[in-house]
């Protein structure tokens, strides 16, 4: 049975996109800048798969073999890689939903609303009426910063903290000891119902936390996303997809196997082991720590360490590939931790295809992250007309 595996390295962009200026992201180059900032990192498998080359890292001494082939240090001499950069064509944003949707053939032609001055009064009034309490915040903010700022007041009053970012998100933060996680999810469902055009926010996000003002507040692993339901896409065509990490949530769980959500790269790696032993013909994973833990916190050192840790996971995955498998490594957007911004960045994303039945090739830059889905569809013999197969 043929099998396709897509792994998204969340936030691991490959350099400024042609339209980066429209998003205020000129000069962003996530992986290259992390490499330069920390003086290089040890990721021989990412190097062998062409991922680092796609990100503009050319000095790979010690990571590639003497002949410079694409897969000289991998676990099997039979493996080959095609690699390059994919340009996002959607104008809906520079976030995970937009990126993952485009991979599966949804190219958004309208931007989702963002709220640099907070949400409009009429939306907040309706939300507060439905949840039966006032709210705190209602402004753009870093999640860790706003719970540090308003966490104590939230604990005192019980009022949920509402905030947004540069993306189209309505985020609700509550302390788990004072507002139960099920109640937080209920509030998110209310917000999802209320956020319709012209306030068609792309994602409602539950952001539970624990701790106290004296020792500090910490977000927990009970985050949950409530996205706008996607249009028809390749996941619907394939069905029974084994999703890992946030991926099922990004598609409102439609077309995915019923599994519990894993919350960090370590848990995603364990679930990947389970997925590779299953009968799923399409595995779709997102490893989110790069973005969530380090990109948004401007921590290039932590980012580099996470890449090194993932490289070990990747090595284990490569040993399990058969002649019937292809592995695609990509990203959903950038999140350059070396820039002043703590938001996502509009960048190319790497597009690497690893397998045994084709020759290695550097294909350069290509329009459309939909090439990821097109390659999956072609490999699995699914009739799909959107995007360019990277193996042709």
pLDDT digits 0-9 by tens, 217-275: 999 989 898 989 999 999 999 999 999 999 999 999 999 999 999 999 999 999 999 99
Separation between Cα atoms, residue 391 and residue 373, nearest integer Å:
12
| Residue 63 confidence (pLDDT) above 70 | no
Is the CB of residue 290 less than 8 Å from the CB of residue 335? yes
Q: Where are the domains of the chain?
A: 3-111+228-379, 121-226
DSSP element (H, E) containing 275 = helix 265-276
Which alpha helices (DSSP H) does 132-257 contain, by range? 143-157, 181-194, 234-238, 247-250
> Taking the model in full, what pTM does it have?
0.87
User: Which residue carries 């694409």 as its tokens?
Assistant: 70
* Residue whose structure tokens are 């990947």: 272
Tokens of residue 314, six digits: 């990747």
Q: SS3 for 117?
A: coil
Has residue 47 got a pLDDT over 50? yes
Residue 73 pLDDT grade (very low, low, confident, very high; cuts 50, 70, 90): very low
Reference 57, options 79, 80, 37; nearest CA is 37
Local confidence band at 147 (pLDDT 50, 70, 90 cut-offs): very high
CATH code for the domain defined by 121-226: 3.30.70.1250
Residue 72: its pLDDT value, please?
39
Class of domain 3-111+228-379: alpha beta
Question: Which two three-digit tokens encode residue 70?
Answer: 């694409």
Length of the chain: 392
Q: What is the pLDDT of residue 67?
A: 46
Q: Is the predicted pLDDT of residue 65 greater than 80, yes or no?
A: no
* Residue 65 phi, psi (nearest 5): -70, 175
């Amino acid at each position: 049975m043929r099998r396709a595996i897509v792994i998204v390295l969340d936030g691991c962009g490959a350099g400024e996109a042609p339209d980066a200026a429209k998003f205020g992201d000129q000069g962003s180059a996530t992986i290259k800048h992390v490499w330069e900032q920390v003086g290089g990192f040890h990721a021989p498998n990412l190097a062998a798969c062409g991922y680092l080359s796609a990100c503009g890292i050319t000095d790979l001494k010690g990571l590639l073999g003497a002949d410079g082939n694409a897969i000289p240090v991998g676990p099997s001499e039979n493996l080959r890689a095609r690699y390059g950069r994919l340009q996002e064509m959607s104008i809906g944003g520079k976030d995970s939903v937009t990126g993952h949707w485009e991979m599966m053939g949804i190219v958004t032609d309208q931007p989702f609303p963002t709220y640099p001055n907070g949400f409009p009064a009429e939306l907040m009034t309706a939300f507060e009426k439905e949840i039966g309490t006032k709210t705190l915040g209602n402004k753009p903010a870093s999640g860790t910063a706003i719970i540090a700022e308003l966490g104590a007041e939230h604990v005192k009053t019980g009022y949920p903290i509402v905030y947004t970012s540069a993306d189209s998100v309505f985020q609700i933060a509550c302390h788990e000891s004072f507002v139960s996680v099920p109640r937080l999810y209920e509030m998110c469902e209310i917000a999802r119902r209320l956020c319709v055009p012209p306030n068609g926010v792309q994602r409602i996000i539950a952001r539970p936390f624990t701790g106290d003002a004296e020792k500090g507040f910490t977000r927990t692993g009970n985050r949950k996303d409530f996205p706008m339901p996607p249009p028809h896409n390749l996941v619907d065509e394939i069905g029974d997809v084994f999703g890992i990490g946030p991926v099922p949530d990004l598609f409102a769980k439609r077309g995915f196997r019923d599994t519990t959500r894993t919350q960090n790269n370590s848990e995603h790696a364990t679930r990947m082991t389970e997925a590779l032993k299953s009968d799923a013909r399409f595995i779709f994973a997102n490893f989110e720590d790069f973005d969530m833990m380090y990109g948004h916190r401007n921590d290039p050192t932590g980012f580099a360490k996470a890449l090194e840790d993932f490289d070990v996971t990747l090595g284990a995955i490569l040993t399990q590939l058969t002649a019937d498998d292809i592995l695609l490594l990509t990203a959903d957007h950038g999140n350059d931790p070396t820039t002043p911004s703590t938001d996502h960045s509009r960048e190319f994303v790497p597009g690497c295809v690893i397998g045994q039945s084709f020759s290695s090739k550097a294909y350069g830059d290509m329009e459309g992250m939909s090439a990821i889905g097109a390659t999956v569809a072609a490999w699995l013999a699914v009739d799909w007309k959107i995007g360019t197969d990277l193996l042709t």
